[in-house]
Structure 1
Amino acid sequence: MSTVAFIGLGIMGAPMAGHLLAAGHDVIGYNRSPAKVETHVARGGRAASSAADAVRAADVVITMVPDSPDVEDLALGEDGIYANAKPGTLHIDCSTIRPDVARRIAEAGAERGVRVVDAPVSGGEAGAIEGTLSIMVGGADDDVAAARPYLEAMGSTVVHVGPPGAGQTVKAANQLIVAGNIQLLAEALVFLEAHGVDTEAATRVLGGGLAGSAVLDRKAAGMRARTFAPGFRIDLHHKDLGIVTAAAREAGVAIPLGAHVAQLVGSLRAQGYGGLDHSALLLQVLQLSGRAEDEEPGRTES
């Protein structure tokens, strides 16, 4: 088994690291919040006091952090991965970042003898806990082959989609589809409620037809109950849709529906709901329909 440095033990990273522990790997965890590291140690992992400390003895480094600047700082900083990793180390970035940043990081890694794979994940907190994530992988053939055993410990669908950066491009498309599905599910639920239909029965039968989707299966019950504990926060989906719209503009591709949903997500975030699950798009449909409820769950200053 390998020594794996896992950096980023948040909602997604903690269970992902747990699956690597269960597979028998020696997992050294680092997170800016010490409490997350303590939980990792309680599960059988080891602790590091810094990212540099985590990677020095590692064969594989996995990063799962919020945004492109976070990955760049971790990879390229003076106390980061590439300055401290031993030659031949495999860096698997499971974060969701800009495709151009992923390509730049892969080039920088190659210059310093580090093999880099971009491997963003989809499936949310439930998929991370269950080990059923869908993982879209970009990188050189040999590097992806080396990364596959670690990825298969964390996900059930692992697909090599192309060269460095391709994984992030596919993840951007994934986030575009997911946001659109959640928005339409929110609209459908408000529509059904307005007509007095039993929404539990309605979503059950919709799920058995062409309207069925993973989004409906995983999100409808919480939306009906108005519970929006974050499996994937509005803040993060707002960031991801920024990646989509920028990449589409760069390629000269029109995404009219996606751009509109990106504005709706941005509006909800501006209202202070960034800490809620992305299924909270339902709240905005209620507002636009004049059916907003008195309670404002999870509202914070953005």
Structure 2
Amino acid sequence: MTEIAFIGLGTMGCPMAERLIRAGHTLRLNRVKEASSHLIALGGRAEASAALAAEGAEVVILMLPDTPDVEQVLFGAGGVASGLSRGALVIDMSSIDPVATREFAKRVREQGGHYLDAPVSGGEIGAKGGTLSIMVGGEAEQFNRALPLFEILGKNINLIGENGAGQVAKVANQIIVALTIEGVSEALLLAQRAGVAPDKVRQALLGGFAQSRILEVHGQRIIDKSFAPGFAIRLHRKDLNLAANAARALQLDLPNTTATLKMMDDAVTQGNGDRDHSALFLTLEAKSAQDAAQGST
């Protein structure tokens, strides 16, 4: 049994924390809200600050929206750093900037702690089912220390390299996911406009080389027009901005990433930022309708 501080109980963090509690670990929780209050009934303990949650914890797990949130929770007033025990392991499972990650790891090590960046892929479904892909950056010794916890949360668990490497892998993952959602959206929009049943097209494609988890899950979401967020567009847009920033720093041209990021900007402007990232389809659909209207005038 491990004493764990868990901070960040949103769409992903809440089911992840629940899995750790049900596996027998002691969780000290910060930022408990109504949607995560059931974790207290399961045995979690609410703490008023990140510092109090971290005091005496062997492991601190973060699952937060963005780079500034991680920095504030770690090093701000009442943050983890002010309560961190010597030798404790900080595991940041958020998706944030790789450069900032390396700096955060350095600061934690200077305080006598250890640090892994371990962003995840698999969405809410993976978080609930314990089937997340976990991409880890850090020392092998600390990876092995954390592995029993990772195995509760995920199935495809890989040590990629030093601190920051996990975040680079996650950025690469988010490029592939975003571009595949965009491609699936275009394909189903084509079928719809051509008067062919999108559900039958999807079913046919699932048996061929175009088969993918995104076509399976998000293709069905698109057909059903069911866009309750498993992973919100605004969060995926944040990740593509990380990709764009990294590309600029490395003097890389990522044209399709740039184009899909623009579509996500449009989706947020259209009020769809809190919908699932499969709702990118709606942006393409709206643009198609606009183009058709302009072409008929």
TM-score relative to the length of structure 1: 0.93
Structure 2 counterpart of 1:98: 97
Structure 2 counterpart of 1:193: 192
Shift of 1:222: 1.2
Shift of 1:37: 4.5
Matched to 1:203, the amino acid is R
Structure 2 counterpart of 1:168: 167
SS at match of 1:161: strand
Matched to 2:185, the amino acid is A
Give the whole-Å Cα distance in 1 for the aligned partners of 2:115 and 2:147.
13
Matches within 5 A, 1:241-260: 241-260=240-259
Deviates more, 1:132-141 or 1:269-278: 269-278
**Alignment gaps of 5+ in structure 1:** 293-302
Matched to 1:29, the amino acid is L
Shift of 1:44: 2.5
Structure 2 counterpart of 1:7: 7
Give the whole-Å Cα distance in 2 for the aligned partners of 1:17 and 1:208.
36
Give the whole-Å Cα distance in 2 for the aligned partners of 1:177 and 1:75.
30
Structure 2 counterpart of 1:84: 83
Structure 2 counterpart of 1:20: 20
Identity of aligned residues (%): 42
* Superimposed CA distance per residue, residues 1-57 of structure 1 (whole angstroms, 9 cap, x where no aligned partner): 1111110111000110111112110111111x5324522112222211111111102
Runs of 4+ in 1 over 6 A off after TM superposition: none
What is the RMSD of the two structures over their aligned residues, measured on CA atoms? Answer: 1.3
Matched to 2:55, the amino acid is R
Shift of 1:198: 2.3
Deviates more, 1:270-279 or 1:36-45: 36-45
Matches within 5 A, 1:1-302: 1-31=1-31, 34-290=33-289
**Alignment gaps of 5+ in structure 2:** 292-297
* Superimposed CA distance per residue, residues 214-243 of structure 1 (whole angstroms, 9 cap, x where no aligned partner): 111111111111111001011101111110
Conservation of the 8 A alpha-carbon contact between 1:30 and 1:37 = no
* Superimposed CA distance per residue, residues 96-135 of structure 1 (whole angstroms, 9 cap, x where no aligned partner): 0000011001000110011000000000011101110000
Paired residues, number: 291
Matched to 1:235, the amino acid is R
Give the whole-Å Cα distance in 2 for the aligned partners of 1:146 and 1:274.
37
Matched to 2:98, the amino acid is P
* Superimposed CA distance per residue, residues 42-89 of structure 1 (whole angstroms, 9 cap, x where no aligned partner): 222221111111110211000001000000111112321122111000
Structure 1 counterpart of 2:295: none
* Superimposed CA distance per residue, residues 122-161 of structure 1 (whole angstroms, 9 cap, x where no aligned partner): 0001110111000000001111111111111101111000
TM-score relative to the length of structure 2: 0.95
Matched to 1:237, the amino acid is H
